Amino acid sequence: MKLSVILICFSFLFVLTVSASPSQVGVVTAGVGYSLAELSIPPVDGPSDPAEVEAFLDLVMPAAIARYNAPGATVAVVKDGRLVVAKGYGYNDLTNRTPIDADTTIFRIGSISKLFTWTAAMQLVEEGKIDLDANVNTYLKNFKIPDAYPGQPVTMRHLLTHTAGFEDTSLRMTWGDVESLISIQEYCAENIPARIYPPGRVSLYSNYGATLAAVVVEDVSGVPFDQYLQSRIFTPLGMDQTNLRQDLPPEFASRLTKGYKYAHSENLPAEDYILTVGPAGSISSTAPDMAKFLIAHLQNGTYGNVTILLPETANLMHSRAYSVDPRVSGMCLGFYEQYYNGRRTIGHGGDTDTFHSNLCLLPEEQAGFFVSSNSAGGRGVRDELFAAYMDHYYPGESVVSPEPDPSASARLQQYAGTYEMNRHNYARFERYIGLPSPITIIATPEGTLRMVSSDGTVEYIEGESGIFFPADGSQPVKGNIVFHTAPDGSVEYFAYTNIPVMVYSRLPWFMTADFQDNLKTAAAIILGTVLLWPLLFLFRHSHAIPEPAYTKITRIARWCAGVAALLLIAFVYILLPWITGNEGILVTYIQTREIPGTLTAVLTVPVIAAILTIVTVAFAVLAWKEKYWTFPHRVHYTIIAMALVAMLWWVHVNRLWVFCL
């Protein structure tokens, strides 16, 4: 179903993205690919000594960029209100072998841009111009968010905590060229996502929500958002090498590092995309500039003599504001929490097609770091530095996994099933070409839970408070897993304890990929039997066998069923694969306001088949009432009608209707 072009198009979610990997929303998730013992680095109490920090980075970073085939990276480490070290590693241009200079080389920071958007929103909250719990429609001047859940409006608090309930979407999120790039006002007005959950019920990461917050800032302040950031955050903090614009001024563009993708055993230059959701992911900056932003937040809104937030506002922004479960790290107002080695961190990651970054703060320790890499493999670099930094400067006690209890196997069956990340599209054709890979959980006879996903297989053992720990005793940065049950006791979803921005919903049996695929195949086989009708006609004609007595109505009945069946078979097995493998059509659909006529025509086919199916079902009822045909013929016709309904249900589940474009 998903050809490579589809994966290319939907990497535009910048993950800000739409695979099943939570790291694609900037949450650090990877395991540790290094050993501090191997690197001969003893633990140190905090990153205070510049020489020691540089020596630490010099051991970790070159090894990480080599391991993950990344051309280069930039890092800034801060502690107690000062920049300790800012240093570049590797190259910003492999062709010319130009080294990365942390002071001057500019990186795209992806979703870390959201922290600037959230900071801007909190400035207006502080000034009394925005109420965190007021309907955002109160502030929007040019459009309104539909009242999908009467009495439960979307608020700024919901946007800051990713709990507005918006489905995920990548439509129009990227654009073909800067010259015709639409404004954030136009984007948000024309691309309002469906609301899948009531606000405040569950976390679901949303680039649209972050961009909508920027529109609110723009409408309330009366200043274009890029100018607002420049005048209220960048300039006061002295972030002279930081810019939100997609069309970077020449003095910035000349210092922007090239992005790369590793393929065929080499790094190949790759263009990053143009975003309509700039406030959610288009800021470019240097490591020292980002250090200023880190220090401002670590010092509760103050950097030097400049205050961008009052202490009480900063504290509010850094405090937990929402969690799907008390056992799971929470969302602050923009930042997300993670716990590692028993220490609380707040921060945000950033992922574009070719840049991967992380901003990490330890407020209690007045420490933090920023890192960015210029390659698709940079996610591993970012994640490895996080784990190495925490293990080196803030080590924790070794984790001891509980022992499995074989007698618990029967009870653990309640958690078994197929799960799906809730961050995807639900209501549009986009669902079909961007659905995440499922995760299967199996209760084993040994008393463990076995998780099988596209990332591999992991065994979990139940510990205290219903928290499941990896059986191998590892401490994954994404955390352990917990299950959430509905009031009736049924399992609704599971969550990773260190990923507060999404959950993994349990699928009913009839929505699993296996059932859906089997249903489609079985329906197609049954529908294919309509070809027996013309074959039998030809057989009788060639052997001079008398035809059964058909009336005009019975002939129409068979024509309706036959045409509907052949239309659906052609749609599912010929037209759909062709349309989803056509790069030009998909890119036009995803990146522009235009809906290609070819796509419209193809998705009209099931609508025609649906009309014919309604007629076929009606004829099936009449066939039994009026005794059309022989008994076996009536049974066959009824089964055909049922297969048509089944195939159309598959079409509906995947939103393959023209009115879902």
pLDDT band at 4 (very low <50, low <70, confident <90, very high): very low
**DSSP reduced 3-state for 291:** helix
pLDDT tens readout for residues 271-304:
878 899 999 999 999 999 999 999 999 999 999 9
pLDDT of 432 reads 92
Counts for the chain of helices (H) and strands (E), in that order = 22, 23
Q: Taking a C-beta distance cutoff of 8 angstroms, is the pair 557, 619 a contact?
A: yes
pLDDT of 547 reads 63
Reference 280, options 219, 179, 348; nearest CA is 348
CA–CA gap between residue 482 and residue 419 (Å, rounded): 13
CA–centroid distance for 407 within its chain: 37
Q: Which CATH superfamily is domain 64-394 in?
A: DD-peptidase/beta-lactamase superfamily (3.40.710.10)
In angstroms, what is the C-alpha Rg of the chain?
28
pLDDT of 39 reads 58
38-47, 527-536, 626-635: the lowest-pLDDT one: 38-47
Across the range 106-121, mean pLDDT stands at 98
CA–CA gap between residue 565 and residue 543 (Å, rounded): 28
CA–CA gap between residue 599 and residue 467 (Å, rounded): 46
pLDDT of 478 reads 87
- Where b means 16+ CB within 10 Å and e means fewer, 89-108 reads bbbbbbeeeeebbbeebbbb
Q: Which residue has the higher pLDDT, 5 or 364?
A: 364
Instruction: Answer whether residue 119 shows pLDDT above 60.
Output: yes
pLDDT of 20 reads 35
Instruction: Answer whether residue 41 shows pLDDT above 60.
Output: yes
If you classify domain 406-506 with CATH, what class do you get? mainly beta
Element of type H or E holding 284: strand 284-285
Instruction: Answer whether residue 393 shows pLDDT above 70.
Output: yes
pLDDT of 267 reads 86
Across the range 140-150, mean pLDDT stands at 97
Q: Where in the chain is the domain with CATH 2.40.128?
A: 406-506
pLDDT of 38 reads 54
pLDDT tens readout for residues 355-371:
999 999 999 999 999 99
Instruction: Answer whether residue 6 shows pLDDT above 90.
Output: no
21-30, 122-131, 461-470, 492-501: the lowest-pLDDT one: 21-30
Q: Where in the chain is the domain with CATH 3.40.710.10?
A: 64-394
CA–CA gap between residue 89 and residue 105 (Å, rounded): 11
pLDDT of 624 reads 94
122 CB-side CA count, 13 A:
27
Question: For residue 213, which phi and psi values (nearest 5 degrees)?
Answer: -60, -40
8-17, 85-94, 435-444, 550-559: the lowest-pLDDT one: 8-17
CA–CA gap between residue 166 and residue 334 (Å, rounded): 16
Across the range 309-328, mean pLDDT stands at 96
CA–CA gap between residue 469 and residue 75 (Å, rounded): 32
pLDDT band at 15 (very low <50, low <70, confident <90, very high): very low
Q: Which residue has the higher pLDDT, 2 or 242?
A: 242
pLDDT of 494 reads 96
When the pLDDT of each residue in the chain is averaged and rounded to a whole number, the result is 90
Instruction: Answer whether residue 12 shows pLDDT above 80.
Output: no
pLDDT of 541 reads 64
Q: Which residue has the higher pLDDT, 412 or 535?
A: 412
What percent of the chain lies above the pLDDT cut of 70? 92
Across the range 588-599, mean pLDDT stands at 87
Across the range 554-577, mean pLDDT stands at 96
Element of type H or E holding 562: helix 552-570
Q: Which residue has the higher pLDDT, 397 or 137?
A: 137
pLDDT of 265 reads 83
Q: Which residue has the higher pLDDT, 545 or 195?
A: 195
- Number of other CB atoms surrounding residue 564 within 10 Å: 28
pLDDT of 450 reads 97
pLDDT band at 17 (very low <50, low <70, confident <90, very high): very low
Reference 280, options 445, 496, 501; nearest CA is 501
pLDDT of 2 reads 41
Q: 343: Cβ–Cβ under 8 A, 6 or more apart, which residues?
A: 362, 364, 365, 390, 394, 396
Structure-token pair, residue 323: 């969690």
- Give the sign of the dihedral formed by CA 467, CA 471, CA 473, CA 475: negative
348-362, 539-553, 591-605, 609-623: the lowest-pLDDT one: 539-553
156-165, 208-217, 531-540, 576-585: the lowest-pLDDT one: 531-540
CA–CA gap between residue 33 and residue 222 (Å, rounded): 48
CA–CA gap between residue 528 and residue 616 (Å, rounded): 16
Across the range 241-245, mean pLDDT stands at 95
Instruction: Answer whether residue 625 shows pLDDT above 50.
Output: yes
